[in-house]
Structure 1
Amino acid sequence: MTAIDAHVHLWDPGLHDHAWLRSAGELHRPFLLDDLTTAAGPVTAVVVQAGRTADEARWLLGLAARSARLAGVVVHADLADPSAVDTIDALRAEEGGSALVGVRDPVGAGDGARLGLPQVRRSLAALGERGLTVDLLLGHGTLPEAHAAARDLPQVRFVVDHAAISAVDVRRDGLTEWAAQLAPLGRLPHVVCKLSGLGKAIAEPDGVSMDAVARVLLDVFGPRRLMFGSDWPVSTQWSAYEDVAGATARVLGGLTTDEADAVRGGTAIGAYGLDPAGTSATGRTTMMRQREH
């Protein structure tokens, strides 16, 4: 079974401006495939777009077209924009377009019931019709609306990024409240979750325990709907890549081999329709057509 890191970022501030990177210290520099290799070895990964422009999405798809190590690309889209799905369709027709396996629309704090907006629901349904997976980056207070959207759209595959750990103030309310709000999503079979992006929550004073978070996720989703993601290079603010991977390996130690393999790669392969054994443009095009039917 091919291991998959289901959540890495690549960026080059010299090519595409990211406003948040300007104040991000050591992160404000290019992080490219060679840097990922230096940090993690020859890992196979799903790259998630960190910026918001179609030009950057094209750049990432071009990188995927030239490297089988990038098993898929999740691009950004503003699903409240009526033209969002047309833009996705255009990207899929360009170089590397067959590597486009998912779309992410950050649902941050203060956005209200964004996932309930009629245009967002139409966009989500259209992505589902195309066999594309939808990543959800959930901000504070947005777990209930994420559940409502996923409940109403069972034909769409949803991926909860970073365990939705920022959707609840876990330092104030504890893991019990987070687990309670996450549980309804866990009862929906077309929703999977990433064991990723926990660095800040763990590193903060009185932070959460990786083991405790993993126990909740394994209970709510089960290992066959849970996937590992390093969140590299964002994670380097708190931990080296090998430390993130090692901590994940430790919490999977009590699982069967098949269950651990699901978290390490099997869930990602199924959720994104990946073909890590044959990620050529031809192989990806075949997989894309299969996802649409």
Structure 2
Amino acid sequence: MRVTQSMLNNNMLRNISQSYSSMDKYMDQLSTGKKINRPSDDPVVAMKGVNYRSELTKVEQFERNISEVHNWMDNSDESLNESNQALQSVRELLVQASNDTYEENQRDNIAEEVSELRDHLEDLANTKVNNKYIFNGTNTLGKRVEDGNVDETNNSAVNIEVMDGVTLQANVNPENVFSQDLFDDLQEIEDALRNPDTRGDDLDEFIDVVDGHSQNLVNERADLGARMNRVEMIEDRLGQQKVSTNKLLSDNEDADIEEVIMNLKMQESVHRASLSAGSRIIQPSLIDFLR
């Protein structure tokens, strides 16, 4: 095959164009810090990047779910703590009122305190977080208690997914803490205190009733505490998973800047050599001689 001047020129121009393309690639890597800037640069790296980002998105969603669970549990724990304190106050008032030396008006004052504590427990039962009632099962738009009447139609667990295939109950069982029996018993205690015929021995019986409700609160709070510990462990695991996935994503896509600079310098040298060689390959034309 006869090699012509035109063939030499075309080959030289094609090689110089490829040299420009290589320098452009390294310049992109240097300016963006990434190995690839479009899927066509390396389909394998691009596909791995999609998978890693998908995994990160899932982890970040689970972290948001964990925050929601924390919100439910922390507010539930605080409300249960306040509720138990209120019941302990009722118990102390009963112990005081069971003394037969108390006069009728003094017991009326105690009954008024019990009434206020009952209203306070109703407020706690209707605790609202982010426009959701947290003590009414999955019916988060409805109050648990209204005018002393408890909505016991929904005691379902509120389950939130915190990892792949792992869900945790975010709420407590409202039936065990804010039942109709609780508010009925408190009303009965108030009525007994206002009744002048009530004796101290009659009030002693209510102490055991209050202790029973208090124990229900303690048991439910203990169960909540166990779940709170598990949430913290899952949160730590998600944090580790996020760190490892970010590292894999970085290893997959981030360019080694030192290596990129070295390759760019080498390509610049190759390009200069190509231009120098090309200037020797292109022969003078007839017009050059006529100048």
TM range (shorter): under 0.3
Normalized per residue, which structure has more strand? 1
Point out which structure has higher relative CO (alpha carbons under 8 A, 6+ apart): 2
Structure-1-length-normalised TM-score: 0.17
Q: Which protein is bigger by CA-based radius of gyration?
A: 2
